[in-house]
Amino acid sequence: MKLKLGVVLFMLFISLGCNSKPPLNEQEKSAIHVVKPAEFKEKSINQVIIDIRTPQEFNQGHIEGAININFFDNSFIEQIGKYDKSKPIFLYCRSGNRTSSAAAKVAKLGYGEIYDLQGGIMSWSRENLQIIK
């Protein structure tokens, strides 16, 4: 019984240690704005919009003017880092799950104004906003 408890505690310790990310500081946290589709659409006019989905997802339909940078690509940070950090950057994915992780990475790069589309392109579509195919 003690052995099983020890194994469980060891596995818990290992899994927590492997998943730990450095926390965002206050400046990085304040840079991220999770916004609803209408606000995202309004604020993103003539701004950099990044669709972080896979190329296959992007080709199924995307927001007009969006640039596809796959979150799962090994060069994601390098590609995102090419944009002007003094200007807002707009991020979205399918449902909003990937974007929260991506926004944290982008904040760590020094971007001061990051907009995360709440609910991703699925919420955009539910609001009957235009999708380019």
Question: DSSP letters along 5-51, please?
Answer: HHHHHHHHHHHHHHT--PPP-HHHHHHEEEE-HHHHHHHTTTSEEEE
Catalytic site residue from 63, 89, 93, 121: 93
Residue 32 lies in a domain: yes
Total domain count for the chain? 1
Residue 20 lies in a domain: no
Per-residue pLDDT of 79-131, as tens digits, reads 999 999 999 999 999 999 999 999 999 999 999 999 999 999 999 999 999 99
Rounded to whole angstroms, the Cα distance separating 2 from 47 reads 58
93 is catalytic: yes
Per-residue pLDDT of 4-36, as tens digits, reads 555 454 444 444 444 445 688 888 889 999 999
Phi then psi dihedrals of residue 34, to 5 deg:
-90, 120
Residue 17 lies in a domain: no
Per-residue pLDDT of 32-84, as tens digits, reads 999 999 999 999 999 999 999 999 999 999 999 999 999 999 999 999 999 99
Structural domain boundaries, residue 121: 25-126
Residue 120: give its domain's CATH number.
Answer: 3.40.250.10
pTM: 0.82
